[in-house]
A = this chain, B = another copy of it.
Amino acid sequence: MSTSRGVTMHDHASGHIDLARLRDVLDGPWAKVRNAHREHLDERFLPVYGETGDQARERISRLLTELPVELGIASAFPTEYGGSSDVGGSIIASEMLAQVDLSLMVKAGVQWGLFGGAVQALGTQRHHDVYLRDIISGTIFGCFAMTETGHGSDVQQLRTTCTYDPQTQTFDLHTPHEAARKDYIGNAARDGRMAVVFAQLITNGQRHGVHAWLVPIRDAQGNPLPGVTIGDAGPKAGLLGVDNGRLSFDHVQVPRDMLLDRYGQVAEDGTYSSPIENDSRRFFTMLGTLVRGRVSVGGAASAATKSALTIAVRYGDIRRQFDTPGADREVLINDYLAHQRKLLPALATTYALHFAQTELVAALNEVQGGDGPVDEHRQRELESRAAGLKAAQTWHATRTIQMCREACGGAGYLAENRLPSLKADTDVFTTFEGDNTVLLQLVAKGLLTGFRDEFGSLDGWGRASFVVEQVREMVLERTAARSLIERLVSAVPGRDEEVAVTDRGWQLKVFEDRERHLLDGAVRRLRGGAATKKDRPFDIFNDVQDHVLAVAAAHIDRVTLEAFVAGIADTADPAVQALLSRVCDLYALSVIEANKGWFLEHGRLTPARSKAITGVVNGLLKELRPHMRTLVDGFAIPDTWLHCAILREEPRRQETMSAHDAAGDRQVVRA
């Protein structure tokens, strides 16, 4: 199979690609949402370079209320309140918004995703009836006040308290010390009228864990309400248009019915009740409804990555580095192997992650969009995947946008060429909505326990023994195109050496094997540690933390490759399919090349085969060179949205240089 396939693909890949068909494949099921954004978001919504923080905040607040209705930005909300119950569409919308302006995307995410989403998911009908319409219309701006200064990741151990008093039938919301101050809260510094505040619920002298209240924080004139102290997080690396701030509460009285009480109720007399008995389980059920935030951030990171790659690839196709008098053709910077080594594997990974994200959004839409009860195992797998792909996409964005900035040289450092704001705005993504390293631990924990533990539990260390007990033999679960992938894997002959490294089945098998072997090793080491380090529970995990993180990374790589393979199988146009298949080869072999130390250590690659992969990757770069522009054009980012001076100037500049090469006495020869 591999041979015939290899030849066919090669032929197609060098053939003509119908860009519209490639775009259709990438646009996927929510193409309508994407196109509505492309059509209705004009120059007015683009970032303004060099503005002050105050100007940016003012502009973004205003634009938030001026977003065209056609976008369906609040589409995740129920139809009866003005949404369209389209969870997937709302994620895609935020991805598109991210390509226009990341401050706008984050501000929208705070307002409708986090704040509005929490009111919807954690509140009940009386909250929905009173507030949802005003939240959707932007009449009430609000905050999602979870994170505290003292602890970022450990949200289960928040220090803010909210204590019920049956006498007054109110809650007393209080910040006991500075470390309990709510921090980095979007919409807090300038615009927020209300906040969903997370705090420890105490009633009748009993703690019931973290719950959420809807709390007014400013009056109509914008002044903080009594007992509420509002601070400004001040200038940030990026996202200047988002007004992050700090909130403290000095015994603020909150009416009983402002508890968002879907998962926990307090009666007039202070009696607590909940459909979920266990505090921790309830907390993670509450958090689970917020998985959309992570999916959005991952998608936004990839959207920004696509913008950066589009700029760098297009610039590399018009920019020369040196005169090359002896060359048989005009040499552009994209012609250099080293430049291709930077841009093309990153582009291939962006494609791979695109398919993984598309699949994730579809799964989220199915799990959360349905009316029936949610399958708990599926929900946890979804949360794990959202966490893993958020980490993968945001780290990939940080690395790739940085690389694109460098690939554009000094021009990449100028604000007018967009890359500085893409870099600065996305930079926080690796640590917000869950720190990436912590998220990878969650992924690993899910794999180690087969998703039997409460997934969201963020510590991963505190109850090491509990986890170690749960560790069991691994069965790899597939999320994409199960039967196709199993067929490809099982078609690989026993002896690897006989199979081409471009054989898809072999690539899949190698990814799978790495994950399984790492996971088995982690299980063995954790069990060994549990037996010998009983008095040092922290060390049981900590001594293998690097190994545990490697398990998660290998898992995400496999999920991503499988999604890419499934996406290619779903592609009808043969030329597009063939091109994607070469891109997939490059993705798979880049990952193997990057991890070749591991494969060699574990006898999965011979030295000869490992060296051969470097040659095959270089060959793929040559083969894909003519398609670089097509591949970024496939992202279908409107020229206006790129908002990049070097691309606007280039046609003119190029013309000038070809027409009159003033200092050079030599003729540049075009291929």
Q: Contact: B653 with A150, CB < 8 Å?
A: yes
* Choice from B53, B328, B415, B462 contacting A50 with Cβ under 8 Å: B53
A154/B322 contact (C-beta < 8 A), A331-B538, A402-B398, A538-B331 known:
yes
What 0/1 pattern do residues 501 to 537 of A give for CB contact below 8 A with B? 0000000000000000000000000000000000111
Q: Contact: A546 with B237, CB < 8 Å?
A: no
The CA-CA distance from A339 to B545 in the complex, in Å, is 10
Q: Which residues of B contact A147 (CB under 8 A)?
A: 410
Q: Contact: A178 with B653, CB < 8 Å?
A: yes
The CA-CA distance from A153 to B178 in the complex, in Å, is 52
What 0/1 pattern do residues 152 to 180 of A give for CB contact below 8 A with B? 11100111110000000000000011111
Interface size of A as a range: 35 or more
Q: Contact: B535 with A328, CB < 8 Å?
A: yes
The CA-CA distance from A600 to B543 in the complex, in Å, is 25
* Choice from B336, B412, B424, B663 contacting A424 with Cβ under 8 Å: B424
Q: Which of the listed residues A233, A414, A459, A460 has the most CB atoms from chain B within 10 Å of its own CB?
A: A414
The CA-CA distance from A321 to B322 in the complex, in Å, is 50
Distance in Å from the Cβ of A595 to the closest Cβ of chain B?
8
Q: Does A455 contact B (CB under 8 A)?
A: no
**Interface locus among A65-73, A247-255, A426-434, A483-491:** A426-434
Distance in Å from the Cβ of A551 to the closest Cβ of chain B?
13
**Interface locus among A36-44, A374-382, A601-609, A626-634:** A601-609
Q: Which residues of B contact A430 (CB under 8 A)?
A: 406
Q: Does A205 contact B (CB under 8 A)?
A: no
B-facing residues in A539-571 (Cβ within 8 Å): 542-543, 545-546, 549
Q: Contact: A415 with B234, CB < 8 Å?
A: yes
* Choice from B234, B432, B596, B664 contacting A416 with Cβ under 8 Å: B234
Q: Contact: A410 with B423, CB < 8 Å?
A: no
Q: Does A320 contact B (CB under 8 A)?
A: yes
What 0/1 pattern do residues 400 to 428 of A give for CB contact below 8 A with B? 00100110011011111001100110011
Q: Which residues of B contact A593 (CB under 8 A)?
A: 597
Q: Which of the listed residues A158, A324, A335 has the most CB atoms from chain B within 10 Å of its own CB?
A: A324
Q: Which residues of B contact A327 (CB under 8 A)?
A: 461, 537-538
Q: Contact: B428 with A410, CB < 8 Å?
A: yes
Q: Which residues of B contact A152 (CB under 8 A)?
A: 321, 409-410
Q: Contact: B537 with A459, CB < 8 Å?
A: no
Task: Please give me the residue from chain B that is nearest to A176 by CB atom.
Answer: B662
Q: Does A52 contact B (CB under 8 A)?
A: yes
A322/B157 contact (C-beta < 8 A), A50-B234, A415-B234 known:
yes
Distance in Å from the Cβ of A392 to the closest Cβ of chain B?
15
Q: Contact: B405 with A542, CB < 8 Å?
A: no
* Choice from B53, B325, B431, B460 contacting A412 with Cβ under 8 Å: B431
What 0/1 pattern do residues 423 to 450 of A give for CB contact below 8 A with B? 1100110111001111000000000000
Task: Please give me the residue from chain B that is nearest to A430 by CB atom.
Answer: B406
Q: Contact: A326 with B427, CB < 8 Å?
A: no
The CA-CA distance from A7 to B414 in the complex, in Å, is 53
The CA-CA distance from A414 to B189 in the complex, in Å, is 14
What 0/1 pattern do residues 585 to 619 of A give for CB contact below 8 A with B? 00000000100110011110001001100100010
* Choice from B183, B549, B656 contacting A179 with Cβ under 8 Å: B656
Task: Supply 15 further A-B pairs (C-beta < 8 A) apart from A236-B413, A238-B413.
Answer: A150-B320, A154-B323, A179-B653, A179-B656, A235-B414, A235-B415, A235-B416, A322-B460, A338-B437, A398-B402, A410-B431, A413-B427, A546-B618, A596-B597, A600-B601
Name 12 interchain pairs, CB-CB below 8 A, sorted by A.
A49-B234, A153-B321, A160-B663, A237-B405, A237-B415, A323-B459, A324-B459, A326-B537, A331-B538, A336-B542, A341-B546, A596-B600
A residues near B (Cβ < 8 Å) are 49-50, 52-53, 147, 149-154, 157-161, 176-180, 183-184, 200, 233-238, 320-329, 331, 335-339, 341, 398, 402, 405-406, 409-410, 412-416, 419-420, 423-424, 427-428, 430-432, 435-438, 458-465, 535-538, 542-543, 545-546, 549, 593, 596-597, 600-603, 607, 610-611, 614, 618, 652-653, 656-657, 660, 662-664
